[in-house]
Amino acid sequence: MMVPALAANTYEAEALKLQAINVFAGGPEDLKLDEGVTRIQGLTFAIRAAGKDDDALAMEDEEVDTILADWTDADSIPQWGRKYAAYAIKNSITVGLSATEKIFGALNPISGTSFLVFIMKAGMGYADVTTADVIDAAVEAGILSAGQAIEFGQKEALIRDDAAGILYGAFTTGVNADGTKLIDAYIASGATTLEDAIEAGFA
């Protein structure tokens, strides 16, 4: 079935709530929900959702350069994304696009399964999840409904609206591997306040 182009922004209200707790940056005009999401952008969302934004940005440039030195396409990583990329590699959030070469693919479109892997590894404690089993894992963890699992699981190139839908599910009903709710861990990290989370409808 063809999906009308006008149906692109399904999750605008949810995106605004995510903005209120600092998962999406900026104001309403910065949401740009119809734009595509690259792998480096998806990683950044996942790291931010994990409450680890400050940790990533605190990495020393020398360490970042060392981590990225042997990645064949490190030069394609935008300057703003280098610390996020290095943090993701250091913490095994991503292993890149190839089993035999270190290819990061920073500017490639991100698939639904890859984005879910990043979210579940970065902040939810599911260290062993892969693109092969992440859809079932995401449903079990309360991130996606069965219908969303079908929708997002087959998307090879997410737009920001899709990312908002996935992240909203993670923050409203997602449960970490240790049994805590993602939103509670996010608040505990200091990335937002309990008051802001309550006001946005998350807690």
Question: Measured between alpha carbons, how far is residue 86 from residues 17, 106, 114, 117, 161 in Å?
Answer: 29, 12, 17, 17, 26
HSE, side-chain direction, 13 A CA sphere, residue 62: 0
> What CA–CA distance (Å, rounded) separates 1 from 5?
13
pLDDT tens by residue, 3-53: 444 455 899 999 999 999 999 988 889 999 999 999 999 999 999 999 999
- Cα 45 to the center of its chain, rounded Å: 4
Domain count along the chain: 1
Whether 3 maps to a domain, the answer reads: no
Whether the predicted pLDDT of 110 surpasses 50 = yes
Whether 2 maps to a domain, the answer reads: no
Whether 1 maps to a domain, the answer reads: no
pLDDT band at residue 1 under the 50/70/90 scheme:
very low
Whether 88 maps to a domain, the answer reads: yes
- The residue with tokens 């693109």 is 131
> What CA–CA distance (Å, rounded) separates 101 from 70?
10
At residue 8, the pLDDT reads: 54
At residue 3, the pLDDT reads: 46
Domain assignment of residue 186, given as a range: 11-26+33-199
